[in-house]
Structure 1
């Protein structure tokens, strides 16, 4: 009798042991899945891939599902859908890592982002967690930006975001080159000459100031249009290659002009047919506006003139806005950051116009550019565009700063 009771007790104990210890193991193995979204050519994605290869050896019970988004439209759409559910903007940003109810966007290094990923994974293995896709379908996700970890404190200097140091430099460089293009300034210089003849600082300030501000706004809107176009198709590698080939052609064309001693000649507004008509049309319109009585309608006319001039300047800029905005979309940025960079670019673009105008306003004398300036500006611009084109085609990861 005692033996039967003991046997029954052992059977109950064995059943409870299996129920509370074996079942969780199966559930953990079934639920521990890491979803990794990456882009071909993305340097941060490549770093995380190396880390994940080490991680899978350390935790063989973890399953990693990888999705390439730059060349696969379906994977990109899936990532955008997951971002949308998580309250993220509708932009492809990689690398993106999903574990349970956690979403990590970006990757700095193994010591910072890698440790965070491993800690989340350990928590899942110890306590169990649902599949990320199932949680996301329930609108349950917690975003963790790897970007925050890239802000490092240096003695004396203070806080510096290491991953964003190069992009502002590129923005300032390209924006300055775009603004210093001789083709983009002839209308302003012509406008200044006409305003100087009036000998009225008030008229000069109102008309010239309106022209510069309107030019900045119009250029910003045109840059935004390029940005939104490339963001909509940012996961298509073909656009990057097309813009790269375009940049190569423009760079070679600029260098050819330098070699042939034809610097500063705008192919859109200088010519014998359509170019002359465009240039003469702008001159006639500008002269009419400057010499007319100063009214609200005249200021509206100046704004319309600025819009037309900036459309022409887009051709004179040799595609720099398109090249820059395509490079911008290669980087993992928030929506606000994208537009702040465009704002910085626009400010640098009109800064030279502003300086020239203020010097003329203060001294009431004409400011212009020498042939030597035009000569070297053509070479520098051509070389920079050529280099950017080569990088866009063959080494896009060098242009991914964030």
Structure 2
């Protein structure tokens, strides 16, 4: 009852957090002053002022006070360099945004760190302390560049892009250059505006002389020993092929996959592999659901007495399909709600608290099984479940009737057992909606989740078909499952709140799960040592109650 009430409360809070109209006046909103050096006439640069800042104002209920300067004016570029020099930083690439104690250069750094500055200010009442590494403009997975100073034409791994204000073909080329920088983080992209900056124009002439080119038209792209004038499909194709050739020839990069082909789910780009890994890992742990495993083994054990493989196959198959289908609908609902709710910090904290709380309850069950609040099937339902299992196992109906009875029984079970591990789909759904935007990818990841989630139960049904014997599942198996699952749920919740970008790399995903597994191992070892001293072993039913098939 407590678990279902908590789930209802959680869903209500989610709907209340969906952005809507606010009665709070602009004068009452927290004020965040920023200094912005960008190309005010450039649509690409102006996405900060006209796109990112208004979106953050709506999302966090804050007001920005923007002091904007045209960085392509020599005097303003000099001012930006001076402001950066005060922080011990060098000018690299526009746009430049100064907020609080830090300065961010380039759209990637601004898009990544400005929301974090706002969250830190709202949470602690002050901006983040100065950190030199936060001014990094490249994607975090980019390889280190030994010389961060000036480069020369033709340097390995350096792409030079020359453009001019008001050039229509430059406007078309800018998104392509951005994509190259995003998709190939091991290259260094340098942008030079040549119409207003004398320094950039001199660099342009130096580069043309090195390549032996006489054309001063823009845009022009240079990468290692190749160059392209203008912008077209041919230029895009050839420039990207050159970048790919550099990646294949770079030591340590050979054999690095651009994409991974998955059966049924199609091609997954390399940048999405951490999302796939996180999905598979959470689903695998979620598959060790004590509630579902108890019901399934109880049902198959009763059917085994009939010695009918056909009945095991029909009942087991329908049971898995129906329970997975209802679980999938629940997760699809969460995905829809989270997609509407936006990226509010309060929602992130709420989801993290839900995961940590449910994880703590599961860890508690390892030490004090079913004492106090427990995410298990309530005792009042167990007699009904046992009776229903016996009815399905011994029913004399035909195949269609048996399938219908099993489907109704499985639907009821899916609803009753939902609170057992609901923390996993909650944290996964929230993670996916903040990482993936394509609806088709949502469905593909949901399908992958359900497939991995069912693997253990599919193996149990297969084992029952092969052995025709009873597979038991009791409190003794449920306790360690709850300990490990609870620890992982807590780790996911904590890291999601304090560092949601941790799961953006495979190493980060591994660290989240490694911390949880090590924590569970330490807790289990310490508990067993203490229990040996006390003369009782954790993981076995208490001597005050008789173990039976309905223990979990």
| Contact map agreement 2:365 2:479 (CA 8 A) in 1 | no
| Contact map agreement 1:71 1:237 (CA 8 A) in 2 | no
Q: Which residue of 2 aligns with 1:376?
A: 480
| Contact map agreement 2:318 2:403 (CA 8 A) in 1 | yes
| Contact map agreement 1:70 1:235 (CA 8 A) in 2 | no
| Match 1:395 to one of 499, 515, 524 | 499
Q: Structure 1 residue 283 and structure 2 residue 386: aligned?
A: yes
- 1:380 to partner: Cα distance: 0.9
- 1:172 to partner: Cα distance: 2.1
Structure with larger RCO (C-alpha < 8 A, sep 6+): 1
Q: Structure 1 residue 56 and structure 2 residue 94: aligned?
A: yes
Equivalences for residues 126-145 of structure 1 within 5 A = none
Closer, same or farther: CA 122–299 of 1 in aligned 2, 3 Å: farther
Closer, same or farther: CA 172–57 of 1 in aligned 2, 3 Å: closer
Cα RMSD between the aligned structures? Answer: 4.2
Instruction: Using structure 1 for the length normalisation, give the TM-score.
Output: 0.64
Q: Which residue of 2 aligns with 1:350?
A: 454
- 1:124 to partner: Cα distance: 12
Closer, same or farther: CA 296–253 of 1 in aligned 2, 3 Å: same
> Can you list the C-alpha shifts for 1:94-130, whole angstroms capped at 9, x where unaligned?
xxxxx94565579357654x63x848x77999769xx
Distance between the aligned counterparts of 2:412 and 2:305, measured in 1? 24
| Contact map agreement 1:247 1:385 (CA 8 A) in 2 | yes
> Can you list the C-alpha shifts for 1:360-379, whole angstroms capped at 9, x where unaligned?
11110112336543222121
Q: Which residue of 2 aligns with 1:254?
A: 362
**Structure 1 unaligned residues grouped into runs of 5+:** 1-28, 41-49, 73-98, 129-141
Closer, same or farther: CA 183–245 of 1 in aligned 2, 3 Å: same
Q: Which residue of 1 aligns with 2:286?
A: 178
Distance between the aligned counterparts of 2:281 and 2:327, measured in 1? 17
Higher helix share: 1
| Contact map agreement 1:268 1:315 (CA 8 A) in 2 | yes
SS state at 1:331 partner? coil
Q: Which residue of 2 aligns with 1:231?
A: 339
Distance between the aligned counterparts of 2:407 and 2:115, measured in 1? 42
Q: Structure 1 residue 32 and structure 2 residue 42: aligned?
A: yes
Q: Which residue of 2 aligns with 1:208?
A: 316
- 1:319 to partner: Cα distance: 1.6
- 1:354 to partner: Cα distance: 0.5
Distance between the aligned counterparts of 1:252 and 1:322, measured in 2? 15
SS state at 1:54 partner? coil
Closer, same or farther: CA 207–184 of 1 in aligned 2, 3 Å: closer
Q: Which residue of 2 aligns with 1:107?
A: 182
Closer, same or farther: CA 239–123 of 1 in aligned 2, 3 Å: farther
- 1:315 to partner: Cα distance: 0.3
- 1:219 to partner: Cα distance: 1.9
Q: Which residue of 2 aligns with 1:331?
A: 435
| Contact map agreement 1:203 1:294 (CA 8 A) in 2 | no
Q: Structure 1 residue 364 and structure 2 residue 477: aligned?
A: no
Q: Which residue of 1 aligns with 2:403?
A: 299
Equivalences for residues 3-152 of structure 1 within 5 A = 31-33=41-43, 34=45, 35-36=47-48, 54-56=92-94, 100-101=171-172, 103=175, 107=182, 112=187, 115=189, 118=191
| Contact map agreement 1:251 1:385 (CA 8 A) in 2 | yes
Count of residues in Structure 1 that have an aligned counterpart in Structure 2:
310
**Structure 2 unaligned residues grouped into runs of 5+:** 1-38, 57-83, 97-104, 119-169, 198-216, 220-232, 260-268, 507-552
Instruction: Using structure 2 for the length normalisation, give the TM-score.
Output: 0.48
Closer, same or farther: CA 245–159 of 1 in aligned 2, 3 Å: same
Distance between the aligned counterparts of 2:287 and 2:326, measured in 1? 14
